[in-house]
Amino acid sequence: MVQNKQRALRVAIVGAGIGGLTAAAALHQRGIEVAVYERAAQMGEVGAGLQMGPNAVHVINALGIGEQFRKIAAEPGVRVSLNWNDGAVRVREQFKGPMQEKYGARYHTVHRSDVHQLLQSLVPENAIHTSAHCVAVENRESGAAMRFADGREIEADVVIGADGIHSAVQTAVFGTSPARFTNQICWRIILPMEELHRCADMLPVPLDGSEYTGWLGPTGHVLFYPLRNGELLNIFAGRVSQQWADENWAVPSPIADLLEAYAGWHPALLHILSKAKEANKWGIHDRDPLDRWVKGRIALLGDSAHPMMPTLAQGAAISMEDGYALARCLELGRSNPDAALATYEQERRPRATKVQLQARQQFENNQLVPAPPPLPVDWIYGYDVVNKPLKLAELA
């Protein structure tokens, strides 16, 4: 179906998370009419730290917010891997410098809400609609339609489901696909960086908070990395578990439960964890890769298409790649949205699937004793969605 060239292409996005807002910003940047529909009553991204590999930073720079981003992010100088029990150094490698040299962009760590606010600033305020709970979508002869819980209905040339692991769009178009509990539970904590500095004499190796530090054990791993130019210490504590499977990430957890989960780990780690005033705990879920992301004028993006384990720290980055690639494809195929969406699926589904599956494999490898070296990530970090050549798909 060829689009009428006399008016702008209209794209509706369900979900105003990082993937949805990246798509909206990149579409708006290209003069494509976009509207975002968010279920929550007000904008505001929950969460804690994010890792932005060079592949994600390419997108940030292309959107024109690189300078603002660097002001609110941190750039770890080195990556240090420590044994869970005695704190001995397993691996130490330089991050700052080599990342730019090898991949053409830096590696940053940042608060999720800060990234969310930056992306939101690129989308016209009147293009974002809150309290818009999408309950159904369908293809129509002239495009696609969305229906909301309050009975409202809107039509667009293209509808994008960026509404997360419980995607209403995915369910409506492709049917129910149950989430898989990955046997991993996690805690998220943010502390003032001073808490790390105060226990310097307890640490097995000198750490000043500028490092990306991982404590690796057979039953889990704990990550430390800086946020907001080193003002904050983000802690991600992952634990292997067969029992607790709640996937609501914002479940308050007693600090005593956290400390019990890491009993026997290095005293310095436990001391730092004990400084938490509050912690949220959740069960990690993903889904098996989908065979299709596109049906008619409806397409999936981000966690609605490929929820993945956090083992490679690529969930947000791959969603941002999706959003930018979608905009490039729709720009290339303005007059033929069907071909544009086919191009998008051909470009994105194989890559996201490969990352999904490697994240699972890395989780399994981390539990082996001794743990093997990390799986290769050059192919992840070295990918440049901004400049990758595109060719519009030929439809049968």
HSE, side-chain direction, 13 A CA sphere, residue 191: 22
Largest CA distance in the chain: 69
394 phi/psi in degrees, rounded to 5: -95, 120
Q: Which of 225, 324, 344, 383 is catalytic?
A: 225
Please say whether the beta carbons of 380 and 53 come within 8 A: yes
- C-alpha span between 317 and 63 (Å, rounded): 14
Cα 106–Cα 71–Cα 186 angle in degrees, nearest 5: 70
299 phi/psi in degrees, rounded to 5: -135, 160
Q: Quick check: is 262 catalytic?
A: no
281 phi/psi in degrees, rounded to 5: -125, 140
Element (H, E) at 284: strand 279-286
Please say whether the beta carbons of 186 and 239 come within 8 A: yes
- C-alpha span between 120 and 204 (Å, rounded): 41
Q: Beginning with the edge strand found earlier in the chain, give each strand of the sheet holding 153-156 in spatial order.
A: 134-140, 143-148, 153-156
- C-alpha span between 330 and 262 (Å, rounded): 48
Please say whether the beta carbons of 185 and 282 come within 8 A: yes
Which residue numbers are catalytic?
225
